[in-house]
Amino acid sequence: MQMTLYSYFRSSCSWRVRAALSLKGLDYEIEAVNLIKDGGQQLSEDYKKINLMAQVPALKVDDTVITQSLSIMEYLEEICPEPSLLPKTALERAKVREICLIIGSGIQPLQNLSVLQYIAKNEGNEKKLEWAKHVIEKGFEALEKLLVSCSGKYCFGDSITFADCFLVPQIYNAKSFLEFFTNGWILLNSRWQLWFNVRCLKI
């Protein structure tokens, strides 16, 4: 089986999949899609045939392409169950997916590149930053409350799960974003900074 990941190094969604691939020790090739260069290589007609949403990541498995990071990760979990990135019971797995989807539906898409470009173009740069700050704060406040009840060494108990693959890139994204604000680091409290520093080195 030949796997090729269409990925951009700074894309949080691609990073989720790269983390899952490397935690499972799977071999794959990278096909870089630069979201900034040439006005965004994801927008090329050729790439839009690979990912109909003109986004990364996309995983090509032999001749079949899968998009959507969570769907790709579920596929990897099925073909390579060990080491598992999901907990044992159905209820626990639902909680892990809940964390993933707070990030994957409630934060990342609301401040995705194309959304921010749209706001900047129509409402100006200040509104763009204001919106990003609002989305990041709302999402991270929810996450912080949720993780109090389920985290151990990692987001869910003491084993790395999909939730960590989602969280670490999102903290990186928030960190780089919030540095644009004058009070940048204050918004991302020390707990998150620590989480990022520790976890990102491990993944």
Ligand X SMILES: N[C@@H](CCC(=O)N[C@@H](CS)C(=O)NCC(=O)O)C(=O)O
Binding residues for ligand X (CB under 6 A): 11-13, 35, 40, 42, 55-57, 68-70, 104, 109, 112-114
Handedness of CA 165, 18, 81, 4 (dihedral sign): positive
| Nearest CB to ligand X, comparing residues 23 and 165 | 165
In the complex with ligand X, the residue whose CB is nearer, 22 or 189, is 22
CB of 43 to ligand X, least distance (A): 7
How many angstroms separate the CA atoms of 134 and 139, rounded?
A: 9
DSSP-assigned beta bridge partners for residue 60: 4, 65
* Residue among 25 and 39 whose Cβ is closer to ligand X: 39
What the block records as the tokens of 85 is 């990135």
Min dist CB 148 to ligand X, Å, is 26
Other Cβ atoms closer than 10 A to 94: 10
The tokens describing 50, both together, are 């690979």
Q: Which is nearer to ligand X, 105 or 189 (CB)?
A: 105
Contact status, residue 166 vs residue 100, Cβ threshold 8 Å: yes
Shortest Å, Cβ 152 to ligand X = 26
Closest CA to 31 of 12, 53, 8: 8
Q: Considering beta carbons, is residue 157 or 200 the nearer one to ligand X?
A: 200
Which among 23, 25, 27 is positioned nearest to 5, based on CA atoms?
Answer: 27
Least separation in angstroms between CB 73 and ligand X: 9
Taking the complex as a whole, how short is the minimal distance between the CB of residue 98 and ligand X, in angstroms? 16
